[in-house]
Amino acid sequence: MARDVTDSTPIVSRDQLVEALCGGCKPASEWRVGTEHEKFGFYLKDHAPVPYDGPHGIRQLLESMAFLLGWNPITDNDNIIGLTDPTGQGAITLEPGGQFELSGAPLDTIHQTCREVNGHLAQVNECAEPLGIGFLGLGASPVWTLAETPRMPKSRYDIMSRYMPTVGRHGLDMMYRTCTIQANLDFSDEADMAMKMRVGLALQPIVTALFANSPFTDGRPNGYLSWRSETWLDTDPHRTGMLPFVFEDGFGFERYVDWALDVPMYFVKRGDIYYDVAGSSFRDLLDGKLKALPGETATMSDWNNHLTTMFPEVRLKQFIEMRGADGGSGRRICALPSFWVGLLYDRTALEDAWALVRDWSDEERQALREAVPKSALATTFRNRTVLDIARDVVSLAREGLRRRASLDEDGHDETIYLASLEEIVARAESPADSLLTAYETQWAGDIDRIYTDYAY
């Protein structure tokens, strides 16, 4: 979940919102990639979840990391809920159930991204080990029930927690019991944005299958390979999904703004206070007719915060966010941005990917999205399987990275970071398939083995 921002500029017209999205356009020479990844903390002694308070809690971990890194604290009602790099290049934040997230800096290459990932994981472990805390990279917490999962003291999460059960069965599961890896990418202009959004949305179920890594909940197999992805199918239909309007003729910044304006709000922040306006219309705030705050009108911070409360499979801000992957190992954290950079930052790869998905219908894309959480790579599509499509698009990404020719100090290009995906394709086995095999064989049904065998 994104950090809340402050910008008191009044919104006087819809065009202002369109122009704000247009502000993300930049030449290819300035394109960067940002990577976000979440992980579950647990106590090494008994594998219990880590609460916020206490001498060995999340608060203490954040304070230790602030001392180690020299980063500035983010607070909410005097509770430290995150850290920001003083240079503005990254942040550590808390998800609702204590999931620990790095929102990485926008970087030039995947080599830099992977150094950032490995450095962060080393820093977290350095601070966590004295507290008896370990971390697990999965798409869903494998054992703790929703009731057992701690809740972080963050005002916006309190509002969301009250609202979520009114609009879907799995909103609280999504908030408190899932983890993801996300890649954020740039675009040059409106047409480039539209093509990248379309390719990203169409291929998001393929990525979900490749990264499927959440086959356990409540201490046993849950019947899915990506239970995290399944939870999104019954969270809140107003703000989630495959955005079929993106594939309509004429799609651009204006159409996305119109959709976002119709997504119900969660909150309005004034000063340090979050006002619960869940379910209310942003259009009413624009007109000064919000029932909970009569006469109050919208600012750019309201709009930017509102954009962060939309959760489609691909989200547009001043960059494009790819949101379909389960949390996973350090190698897979590096693999996700390398996959999308290879496909979207090389024109030939982007056009080839668009040619692959261009004639998929809205109904086919939705059916694929709904099937993949359960069957992942084995999902059938037309006369093929998702595995076949994954093999094709990973190959396209490899060629895109090869042509990009960004070398590290040892002369390796960025294709080295696709190795974990190429192994998945070669084995025809998602990470969740491997977990289930381990559970049924060498673990002999002992789910606690996951805390040793799959910890960072």
Domains in the chain with CATH codes: 14-453 (3.30.590.20)
**What is residue 89's predicted lDDT score, i.e. its pLDDT?**
87
CB 281 within 8 A of CB 399: no
Average pLDDT over residues 56-73: 97
Inter-helix orientation angle 419-427/386-404, to 10°: 150
The model's confidence at residue 254, banded by pLDDT at 50, 70 and 90, is very high
Distances (CA, A) of 454 to 94, 213, 267: 21, 11, 37
The CA distance from 238 to 236, in Å, is 6
Cβ-based neighbour number of residue 301 at 10 Å: 18
* Percent of the chain's residues with pLDDT above 90: 98
**What is residue 181's predicted lDDT score, i.e. its pLDDT?**
98
Query: Residue 156 pLDDT > 80, yes or no?
Result: yes
Tens digit of pLDDT for each residue in 40-62? 999 999 999 999 999 999 999 99
**What is residue 110's predicted lDDT score, i.e. its pLDDT?**
98
**What is residue 3's predicted lDDT score, i.e. its pLDDT?**
52
Query: Residue 434 pLDDT > 80, yes or no?
Result: yes
Tens digit of pLDDT for each residue in 181-227? 999 999 999 999 999 999 999 999 999 999 999 999 999 999 999 99
Query: Residue 4 pLDDT > 90, yes or no?
Result: no
Backbone angles phi, psi at 217, to 5 degrees: -145, 155
Average pLDDT over residues 151-159: 98
**What is residue 1's predicted lDDT score, i.e. its pLDDT?**
46
Mean pLDDT, the chain, as a whole number? Answer: 97
The model's confidence at residue 7, banded by pLDDT at 50, 70 and 90, is confident
